[in-house]
């Protein structure tokens, strides 16, 4: 079986747009969750994990050569913010891996990218809707096709197609290998990396860019979250609002971000002298719901954990730590913690569990990649980052939450993510010997 290693990292997050900024904030215990200006608050939130350092300017895409920079700048008009963040994270990972100078066959380089469902910004429709409802008159649906739609930008749809990040990345960099797009909410990150990992394992490519981008602070997505999920209430200090596994947790904090990694076949990476951050050795996933289509998240997490361990050929005792989903919701955290206990409870020493969402909230589909980057950096720096705001253990969450600065990450970790709909995905990563 071909070995697969990580050779490049790229992030866009509430803690900054570089791996160095991300790691620095984690080590300083600095939250990326902050109060929103009045004009950004919308209907349901006073604070969020906003990627404030990302403005969509071409300079936010990292170091780019002349023609590549020109092409991406031209393409910005057909990218929504999620696509822009995804492309930026990918370009930063590509630059970090030094792929442009590697001389690899472009036919053997591919892209797999995940995302949330993408929604139009309401502002896109303002002119068209005013045409059909002038002077605050009732909306005239008969005028939409004739007068309303012509007010929309001809390129409007291209901005919001979830397959566009993978398409843009492949086109800009002339990557002609396998290309795929996955839209599975918070599970998309791990599933995208898992699919790219399989592509290299089975010999269909030698190098892949794997990533995901997402947002929960888009006005309509924030509204959906408020209606359907447990979100932290307004009226509390933003930096203390995300409290994974804590007895006093009140719900998830909404955020946005993107992450990407470059993964390569081990011998090829070694031959070109690439920096190797870590090795991916296993992946697992599961989706569980009952006959009434009610999600069984705990069972999905148990299945995915066991599947990933089997795939990696490791026993629970051999995993150094778990980078949990750690959403901060009452039910989600309890189900996740019990599933971890069921799989890892037989260890002589409890497995350390960390939760990066305590720093920046739920970044949607992009969160898993940023969290994967955080634990990969922890392996390289040989120290874990503590969970913010964990003060009082909850008996319903029987896990060993990391609260100190000097906890060892071990030689391997599992990154775990799941969705409210009962889809779970895991990756097993270890130091590369």
Dump pLDDT digits (tens) for 300-331. 999 999 999 999 999 999 999 999 999 999 99
C-alpha span between 345 and 316 (Å, rounded): 9
Task: Give the model's pLDDT for residue 42.
Answer: 67
C-alpha span between 360 and 196 (Å, rounded): 26
Task: Give the model's pLDDT for residue 37.
Answer: 85
- Where do the domains of the chain lie? 4-120+158-430
Residue 81's nearest CA partner among 110, 60, 111 is 60
Contacts of 116 (CB under 8 A, 6+ apart): 82, 162, 183, 185, 188, 213, 214, 215, 216, 221, 364, 365
% the chain with pLDDT above 70: 99
Angle at 43 between CA 42 and CA 44, to 5 degrees: 105
Across the range 333-352, mean pLDDT stands at: 97
Residue 301's nearest CA partner among 316, 322, 287, 321 is 287
C-alpha span between 84 and 73 (Å, rounded): 10
Give the SS3 label for residue 179.
strand
C-alpha span between 390 and 397 (Å, rounded): 12
Q: What angle do helix axes 19-27 and 367-381 make, rounded to 10 degrees?
A: 70
Across the range 81-87, mean pLDDT stands at: 97
Instruction: Indicate the fold that domain 4-120+158-430 takes in CATH.
Output: Peroxisomal Thiolase; Chain A, domain 1 (3.40.47)
Whether 393 shows a pLDDT value over 70: the answer reads yes
C-alpha span between 53 and 36 (Å, rounded): 14
């Amino acid at each position: 079986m071909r070995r697969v290693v990580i050779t490049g990292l790229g992030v866009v997050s509430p803690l900054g747009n570089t791996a160095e900024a991300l790691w620095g904030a984690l080590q300083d215990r600095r939250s990326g969750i902050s109060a929103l200006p009045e004009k950004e608050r919308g209907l349901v939130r006073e604070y969020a994990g906003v990627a404030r350092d990302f403005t969509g300017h071409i300079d936010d895409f990292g170091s780019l050569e002349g023609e590549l920079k020109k092409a991406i700048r031209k393409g910005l008009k057909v990218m929504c913010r999620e696509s822009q963040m995804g492309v930026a994270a990918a370009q930063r990972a590509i630059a970090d891996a030094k792929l442009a100078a590697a001389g690899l066959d472009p036919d053997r380089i591919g892209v797999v990218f995940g995302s949330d469902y993408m929604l139009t910004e309401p502002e896109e429709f303002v002119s068209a809707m005013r045409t059909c409802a002038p002077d605050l008159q009732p909306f005239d649906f008969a005028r939409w096709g004739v007068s309303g739609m012509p007010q929309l930008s001809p390129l409007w749809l291209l901005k919001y197609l979830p397959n566009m990040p993978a398409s843009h990345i492949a086109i800009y960099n002339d990557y002609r290998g396998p290309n795929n797009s996955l839209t599975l909410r918070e599970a998309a990150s791990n599933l995208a990396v898992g699919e790219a990992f399989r592509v290299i394992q089975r010999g269909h490519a030698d190098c892949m860019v794997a990533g995901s981008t997402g947002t929960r602070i888009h006005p309509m997505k924030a509204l959906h979250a408020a209606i359907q999920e447990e979100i932290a209430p307004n009226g509390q200090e933003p930096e203390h609002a995300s409290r994974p596994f804590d007895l006093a947790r009140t719900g998830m904090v909404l955020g946005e971000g993107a992450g990407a990694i470059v993964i390569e076949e081990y011998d090829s990476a070694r031959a070109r002298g690439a920096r190797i951050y870590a090795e991916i050795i296993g992946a697992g996933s599961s989706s569980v719901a009952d006959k009434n289509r009610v999600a069984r998240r705990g069972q999905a997490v148990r299945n995915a954990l066991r599947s990933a361990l089997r795939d990696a050929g490791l026993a629970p005792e051999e995993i150094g730590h778990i980078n949990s989903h750690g959403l901060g919701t009452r039910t989600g955290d309890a189900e996740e913690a019990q599933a971890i206990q069921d799989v890892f409870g037989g260890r002589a020493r409890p497995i350390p569990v960390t939760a990066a969402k305590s720093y920046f909230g739920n970044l949607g589909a992009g969160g898993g990649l940023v969290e994967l980057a955080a634990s990969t950096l922890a392996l390289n720096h040989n120290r874990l980052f503590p969970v913010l705001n964990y003060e009082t253990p909850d008996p319903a969450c029987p896990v060993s939450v990391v609260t100190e600065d000097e906890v060892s990450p071990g030689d391997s970790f599992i990154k775990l993510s799941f969705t409210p709909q009962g889809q779970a995905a895991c990756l097993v990563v270890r130091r590369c010997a």
